[in-house]
Each structure stands twice: as C-alpha cells, then as structure tokens.
A and B are shown apart, each in its own frame.
Chain A
C-alpha cells in the first residue's frame, strides 16, 4: 500500500471534520476522494500531506509512519486548488524549487525541469511568470512542480475546480494519460462524480467526515452502498418505494409482468435522450429512454403506461434505510 490512513479523527474547534477515517491507497493507483463540499475530503488530503495534523489516528506512506512527520519530510507532491504558484519566480524556477531545496547539481536540475515542462507542454513558457499564464497552464505548472521532486504520492486538491468547463474536460483526459505515463500513486479530491468516474480507477466516497464507500467507478455506480451514494453518483428516480436509475426503467403501453400503472405528464427531448416524466401512484418519477424508443411508442402527455425496473437493474429500497 502506498498510503494507509487508520482511524483518523480531526476536528476544527468543536466541529468534527473527519470521523474514524480509514483508507488504503494501492501503489500506482489513481484514486478519487469524492463527496459533497464540507464532507472532509480536502481535510483528509491535507492530513495525508501533513498540512493538517489528525487529532487521533495514523497515516503511513510507503509503509513508514508519517503521522508526526512535517510536510517537508513526507516527500509528497501536493497540487493546491488555486495552484499556489510562486508569483515572484518564473515557471522554470517554480518547477525547479524542490530540486534547488534538495541542492541538486545545476545541470541535473535544468535537465529534469525541461523534461517535466515538456511532459506538461509548457517547454515554451519556461521564462514566463505565473501571472502571464492561463489557469490551465498554471495548473500544469503546479503539477510539474509537484512531480519534480519524484514524490512517493501525488496529491491534488480539486485539481480542476477553478477552471472553466472546456479546459476541465481536456485536462481530465490529459491527467489520466499522464498517470498512465508516470505511474505515480495519485489521489485527487473532487466533488464532481463525472470527473471521478472518468479519471479514477478507485473512488472513495466521503460524506460528513466518514468514508461511505470504496470501490471501482463501476462498482460504486452500480452497487451503491446507500441511497446517498446512489444519488450522489448519478441520476435517480423513485418507483414503488425504491431508488432506481432512470435508464434502468422499462416503460410500456401494454401490460407487463410486475409493472405499475402510470400516467405520462410530460415528454422532454434532450437531443438523443428523451426524458419521460410520469406520475406513479401520485408521485412524480421519470424515465430515460432513447429517441428511437420514444418515437416508436409515440407517447403524449395523458397517456396511460406501465413502468417497472428493468430485470437485473440495481435498486435500493428506501424503506430499508
């Protein structure tokens, strides 16, 4: 294990932010800490980096107990949400910082920094200052700076949080590819479930300072541990007292076995997908179907239909919780 967090508790004043948190991060993995804001995920990342001290519990990095080590001695790469670019240093000197602190020879520093700048596509920006870079470029510089010291683990706090939607999507794909190239154990914090599912190979869901579920993206999406995780990871709707994914519901004009009668209240066409809003037993629900399927049925508001969860679909009984 690259990182082992055990029974960590942390409070700010009287407000608990982490409760009995235990997380394992496998070497070479790309792990997302996912959860709503205020769920404790950034604090957990900062505890791993040593920027916050846990009240109780331990943190081991590469098998070594790091709980009382200062951030200076943990050899982690940390990328801050707002990059924490050294404003008075050029891009080159920013990336070289950790190596200069370690007193590496000049030419070695030069070589390594240029390699990294190439890796993050900033080789032409070496002499610029952070204020002359775009948000995405600053993010990549911060990443190169963190990677320069060959950290045991790379920690990213909301790495794409401050970027606009377009750049965000590009950087996600790029981060995935970068990880495939560099293979450094990486943990990143995000509140965006799509980002976590797309980029990570393991997702840790945190809510109210507790680990709610750990698993692969598919696992967490398909077998949510509780309604909260299910709601957080994707769209849900409620039929017959159960939470179901709207694309996991069958809708038919003819009677089907185990079906519940419903009335179509609205049909919304969203490009390829069609959202059919229905009333089931006095409650609003919705079903996601393809355009082709909707055209075939020719649904209109007021039509009587039958709905049921698709065979094999995951559903969570709300009453059970």
Chain B
C-alpha cells in the first residue's frame, strides 16, 4: 500500500432547505404521496417556464461566504440534456461554465492533531430529478416527481483528500457546516445530503493523477468510508497486476460492500450543456452579498476556539461539543445556567447525557433532560450538596421521571452528609463491626484502607462527603 498515494475528491449534493422548489412554487416537504407536490412546471408541461427561487440563491451565497469563496457577480444557468423517465423536461437546469460559488476552502482535522486545508472548487445551484420506483409495479416503473425541482447545492472539492478518513472528515465537516448555516437539514436517509466520490491512485511522489472512478450516491458516512476503502483496494489490485483502471461511474452496494460498474466512459452522456434561454444570468451585487453575510451565524471553527478559550476546554472536547449547532447550543445553555462550570458541564454533556441519548437513540434536541435541568444538577455537584457518584443516580431519575434535580435529591434524601459528628459515628460503628480487618490494618496492611472507605460509604448509602470520610477515617484508623 505504501507505494501508492490515494487521491480523492468529493461531490456533495446538499438539498437546500427552501420551502418551495428552485424554479416553481410547489412544496419541497418530504414524504408526501407520489406526485402530489409536482405542479405544471415540475411536470415539464408544454409552455411552462422556470422562475428562480431567491431563497435558494441566498442559501448558496451563505455557503459561499462560510467557505470564504468568491461569489460570482454573474453566474449562468445551463441545461444539462439527457433522457430519463424521471427527468421531466429532458434536461436538468444546472450551472456549468459559470457557477455561483467558486474557489473556497475548508480546514479539516487530521488524526495526528494537525489540520488540512481542502480546496472547494465550486458550488453551484441545480434542480433535483424525480424518483423512479421499481418495486410493486410488476415489470413497469413508477415515477414520482415530488422531488423534481427540489433545489440542490452541488459542492465540488479539489482532489485534495488522501485517505478514506480524510474524505469522511471533510464530508462530516461540510455536513456540520450546512446544518450550522441552516441551509440543509442534512438528513442522509431522506437523501438531503448525498456524496459522490472520485478516487484514483498514483505512485507516491508522482505529480500527475491516475485514472479515476466516480462512485455515486453514498448516503452515509460509513458507506463513504467503505466505498473508498473498497475502491482503493480494487484499483491497487488492478494496477499491481499490470492492469489499467477504467474511467467509469460506479455504484456502491452496501449489502455486499462492493462497488460495481454502472457506466463506462464510452457510454458517458454528451450532455450538450448550453445556457438556459428561459433564465436570465444570475446577477448578485455587493449589497446582496453583505445582507447575506450579516445573517451568518458563528461558524464551527470559530465556536470551537471560543469554547476552548471561554470554558477552558481541551481542543478535543471543544470539537465534540461544536459538532452540531444544536449540541453546542445545549452545552452553552447548560454551562451558563450552572454558573460557568464549563469543564463540569462538558464532562456531563459528553459523558452521562451523550451516553443516555445514544442508548435511547435520541437527538440532543429531543433530550428528556433540558439544558436548564442539567444545569440544576451540576449546581448541586458544584456546591457540594451531592457527590458526583450520587449525581449519576439523580440524573437517572431525572431522565426517567422528568423531575428537577433538587426535587429528586430531597425526595430520596440524597443530600450529602457533611456533619463531622455524624460521619464519625458511622466510622466508629464500621470499625467496631470489623475488628479483624482493623487489626490487620494496624499491623501494616495499608491496602485495607479502601475496604474501610467502602464500608463507610455503604453504611451511609454513598451520601457522606468522600473527602471528609477519607480524612476522618485516616485519623480514626491511626487510633
């Protein structure tokens, strides 16, 4: 493997979260009955004309600004001509020679702790096609045009990625970014975010590129990673056995974990691109760009640095907590409500809360414990009312019962015992009950200290302040 360098570029189709389609007023809502959200324009009826949705343009510009790209003052919609039953007009309206966004970049984190700048060649607006349905039609094909005309932003990277992991890191970063920008819901199951990946191999140190294949429609990060790994391995075998990689489009089959040839170069379509005469060139002035810039939220990288700085978090914690805008918002709300205990809040959000959410298969936005409630719990840890260990019990009760921390603590009598006399009484009883161990300890068997701590905590149901227990126990054991 070390003889070959892997070269990867990604084309990501992000469905823009507009309410209506890119060139018609039909709804984009997912899951409606087939063909109930397809108007005359979407059906490509004779005489209909496209009218550009300004919101889609706004979203494309927002993305362009977020990746520090150039926003074209003039871009052109072009027709990509090909016949397909779910392509109503016999052409797709896309952008070809002049895209709306060009020359951007994004930094991804590498495993060695460094970062890598990945070039974004372009991002252009286009319409989606409909869906062909092959099941339940007895040898025929059903066509659902609800998706026809849904706005897409196609984001094309430079061939800057060098491994499956880098490809996944880049895709995840774009995914987080479009969700931060609220321009795409990122739902990969519903096809709102799809990746095509270009893979080629070249001898390490070579400057040219090898022949690439394009693998289409990867609808999860796991499939993206597997498809790249498979494709790298397949190409390596071809090259090492003296063969040549064929330029072609391939399809990833997740059931078999392999890629298969879909169409070769010789079958490649001649799309006969030309400017769409039904649409004027898209002109964007500086005022529009600035108005969009004013709506940009804090972006993931900036937020991460701020979290490190403001809450004293490690780079890792900050990056986990800023992975999505919703998680970051939750964390910040919790940290603020618990009096700025940033590190404590981070541990709980990433630990107990994340674990529970994961187990229940819930998203942060659906958490049964709100950020404010969690903060209520964290305050009781911080002020010593309960120990961290007891806090886990309280959290479980809050998760199940939906109650506030204070109420759980009171109702179950979980308040920490800090009264020295009370703790001493318990210690005395424990020592009295375990004379053999006491003798051994005093004879020099230091390791039994832990045993006594355990017995004391057990006797007080974990409620005694651990530090106090340690100190008092040491004194008593010394006799």
Partners in one complex: no
